[in-house]
Amino acid sequence: MKNENIYTKAGKKVKAKKRFFFHFFTYACILGLLYAISYFEDDGNPLPTIIVALSWGIAIVTHYFKVFGTEHLGFLGISPNWEEEELEHEIEKLKRKRELKENIIKERNLLDDLEKLELREMANRPLDDDYQA
What is the C-alpha to C-alpha distance for residues 34 and 26, in angstroms, rounded to an integer? 12
DSSP for 57-74, please give it: HHHHHHHHHHHHTTTT-G
Q: Which amino acid is at 67?
A: V
Residue 133 lies in a domain: no
Cα–Cα distance list, 102 to 73, 92, 109, 115 (Å): 41, 15, 11, 20
Residue 93 pLDDT > 80, yes or no? Answer: yes
Q: Are residues 2 and 60 in the same domain?
A: yes
* 14 and 64 in a common domain: yes
Spatial separation of the C-alpha atoms in residues 26 and 59, rounded to whole Å: 12
Same domain, 52 and 2: yes
Q: What is the pLDDT of residue 129?
A: 55
One domain for residues 61 and 121: no
pLDDT (average), residues 14-22 = 93
Residue-wise pLDDT for 115-126, tens only, equals 887 777 776 666
Query: End of a domain among 69, 97, 114?
Result: 69
Domain of 99?
A: 80-125
| Model confidence, pTM | 0.54
**Has residue 55 got a pLDDT over 70?**
yes
- Does a structural domain hold residue 98? yes
Residue 77: what pLDDT?
64
Structural domain total, the chain: 2
Would you place residue 20 in the very low, low, confident or very high pLDDT band (cuts 50, 70, 90)? Answer: very high
pLDDT surpassing 80 at residue 131: no
131 within some domain: no
pLDDT band at 102 (very low <50, low <70, confident <90, very high): very high
132 assigned to some structural domain: no
Query: Do the domain assignments include residue 16?
Result: yes
* pLDDT tens track for 59-77: 999 999 888 877 767 666 6
Residues 8, 64: one domain? yes
Residues 1 and 37 reside in one and the same domain: yes
